[in-house]
């Protein structure tokens, strides 16, 4: 299930829904925007949901190949571009890989916290931070079309492990 916590205008996504449900919701969004739910799009959505970690187009291709399915990596790139444009997937800046959007029902700027040790990703949306960035850009005479940002550090689990080992 995709649970959304919203405190002080901060939404945090936790994904644990059965992948069929999330894929169906993504397909519904695709169709609502006038796109067809093609077999290749369904396959890529399914892999992003099931693997639940950042994947490159080549890694997606390898997962599909291991399942007896084949998609050209160029096709996968195009599908990922479409999914990103519809906020159904995001490109992780630090790795250049892609993850499913766990906050696709929430409009606005989505950001990530990326663990440098285990690679865990936490997606969040913060309306106040988004507005502050827009204000900063406006004060500098810059028109913002979109925001790209992610936080890099250690997740709580890796931080605890490191702290316990240091004792």
The per-residue DSSP string of 143-156 comes to: --S----EEEE--H
Q: Which domains does the chain have, with CATH numbers?
A: 2-166 (1.10.10.10)
pLDDT at residue 11 in the model? 43
Q: What is the pTM of this model?
A: 0.75
Tokens 């040790």, located at residue: 117
Which residues neighbour 126 within 8 Å (Cβ) at sequence distance 6 or greater? 9, 10, 11, 109, 111
Q: How far is CA 152 from the centre of its chain?
A: 15
Query: Using one digit for the tens of pLDDT, what is the confidence trace for 139-160?
Result: 999 988 777 788 999 999 999 9
For the chain, give the mean pLDDT.
Answer: 83
Query: How many residues are given for the chain?
Result: 167
Tell me how far apart the alpha carbons of residues 128 and 135 are, in angstroms, rounded to a whole number.
Answer: 10
Mean pLDDT of 85-113: 84
């Amino acid at each position: 299930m995709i649970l959304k916590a919203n405190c002080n205008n901060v939404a945090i996504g936790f994904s644990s829904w059965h992948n069929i449900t999330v894929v169906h919701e993504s397909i519904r969004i695709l169709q609502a925007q006038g796109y067809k739910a093609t077999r290749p799009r369904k396959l890529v959505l399914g892999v992003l949901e099931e693997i639940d970690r950042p994947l490159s187009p080549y890694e997606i291709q390898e997962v599909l190949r291991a399942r007896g399915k084949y998609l050209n990596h160029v096709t996968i790139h195009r599908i990922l571009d479409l999914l990103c444009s519809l906020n159904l997937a995001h490109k992780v800046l630090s790795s250049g890989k892609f993850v499913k959007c766990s906050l696709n029902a929430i409009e606005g700027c989505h950001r990530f916290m990326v663990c440098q040790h285990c690679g865990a990703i936490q997606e969040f949306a913060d309306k106040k931070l988004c507005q502050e960035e827009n204000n900063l850009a406006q004060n500098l005479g810059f028109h913002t079309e979109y925001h790209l940002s992610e936080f890099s550090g250690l997740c709580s689990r890796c931080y605890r492990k490191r702290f316990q080992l240091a004792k």
